[in-house]
A and B are shown apart, each in its own frame.
Chain A
Amino acid sequence: MKLVKKKENPEIPTASMADIAFLLIVFFMLTTVISATKGIEHQLPQQDKKTQENIEKEDSVYIKVNADNTFTVDKEPPASIDAVGMLHDYLYPKLSNNWKKPIIIYVNPEAKYESMVAVLDVVKQLESQLMKEKNIPNLTITIPTQAEAETWGYQ
């Protein structure tokens, strides 16, 4: 009896390809977090710098964030933190003339964190505006801690 051999074509089974692919999709969909993590950058002062100078309150722009959701800048009367935009109008002429003027943001320990962020945001906006308009490099922004403020005689 003559046996007829069936010739089988070699092939890679791809039927399960879509299943594997969808399994991977589900995994990545579940683990993906599409939330852009962004924030305001801030450089902490370097304590070991020998060139560090003690700056007098009068030589700087002194912004004080108060506990009652208000802020004061230099000798101006206190204003609500909601009107923090006015800070821009005050700082712009001062800093466009002298960008080296240090900005000190003193925050009352009882003030809310968001009040400080609101003030810092305005200053940072001004910084990027000055950089665009006048090619002024980074402003000197300091947020003294309670211990530093006491040492420097601020508050």
Chain B
Amino acid sequence: MKIGKTKTVDAYIPTASMADIAFLLIVFFMITTVFQVDKTSLTLPRSNVRSEVVKGSAFIVVTEGGFLKVSDGKEDTHPIDQSDVLSFAVDLMSKNPEQPIVLKVDQNVKWHTVDQILDQLGQAHAKNLQFLTDLKIRQEKFE
């Protein structure tokens, strides 16, 4: 019996699904993208209790050297003088009295710097505050 010649199949990479995969990735990145108002890198203190920062929160950043930066939650952070926090906070509260404020402070900053900020925030009648932290590896279980 004569066996017919085997047909040679051209090798190719199927690219039909390429666009689908690409769009899937786009959707993923679009959903996960957060345009951060502050990109200052500093060492945050660690804690076990952490809750998500509310979108649009105002930021007050204090670096290890004691330099201050602020953002109203819409624009990028800009440097500010320590004595100007009050006017910044008053301005924020006049727009939205419930405006959450995030304190992003380096772990080595001395308390008196934070204390002065809290004092000014209190004078401006700020209510909702959040101390930004990194996750602590749990050593002791309380539950």
Name A residues whose Cβ lies closer than 8 Å to a Cβ of B: 14, 17-18, 21-22, 24-25, 28-29, 31-48, 65, 85, 88, 107-118, 120-121, 124-126, 128-129, 143, 145-147
Closest to A128 in B: B49
Contact B111 A40 (CB under 8 A): no
Judge whether B6 is part of the interface by a CB distance below 8 angstroms: no
What are the 7 A-B residue pairs with the smallest beta carbon separation, nearest first? Answer: A28-B29, A21-B22, A109-B112, A38-B50, A114-B107, A114-B45, A117-B45
Q: Which of A18, A35, A147 contacts B19 (CB 8 A)?
A: A18
Judge whether B51 is part of the interface by a CB distance below 8 angstroms: yes
Closest to A14 in B: B19
Contact A109 B111 (CB under 8 A): yes
Contact B128 A43 (CB under 8 A): yes
Judge whether B91 is part of the interface by a CB distance below 8 angstroms: no
Judge whether B8 is part of the interface by a CB distance below 8 angstroms: no
Contact A21 B121 (CB under 8 A): no
Would you call the interface of chain B mostly helix, strand, loop, or mixed?
Answer: mixed
7 new A-B contacts, CB < 8 A, other than A24-B22, A25-B25, A121-B49, are A25-B22, A31-B35, A35-B36, A38-B133, A117-B107, A145-B115, A147-B119
Alpha-carbon distance between A115 and B110 when the two chains are bound, in angstroms: 10
Alpha-carbon distance between A125 and B138 when the two chains are bound, in angstroms: 12
Contacts of B105 in A (CB 8 A): 113
Closest to B51 in A: A41
Contact B19 A42 (CB under 8 A): no
Name B residues whose Cβ lies closer than 8 Å to a Cβ of A: 15, 18-19, 22-23, 25-26, 29-30, 32-36, 39, 45-53, 102-103, 105-115, 118-119, 121-123, 125-133, 135-136, 139-140, 142-143
Contacts of A109 in B (CB 8 A): 110-112, 115
Contact B22 A18 (CB under 8 A): yes
**With A21-B26, A32-B32, A117-B107: A37-B125 Cβ-Cβ less than 8 Å:** no
Alpha-carbon distance between A22 and B21 when the two chains are bound, in angstroms: 10
Alpha-carbon distance between A6 and B118 when the two chains are bound, in angstroms: 79
Contact A125 B48 (CB under 8 A): yes
Interface centre among A41, A44, A111, A113 (most CB of B within 10 A): A113
Contact B119 A120 (CB under 8 A): no
B127 to chain A, nearest CB (A): 6
Closest to A109 in B: B112
**With A21-B19, A28-B30, A36-B52: A117-B122 Cβ-Cβ less than 8 Å:** no
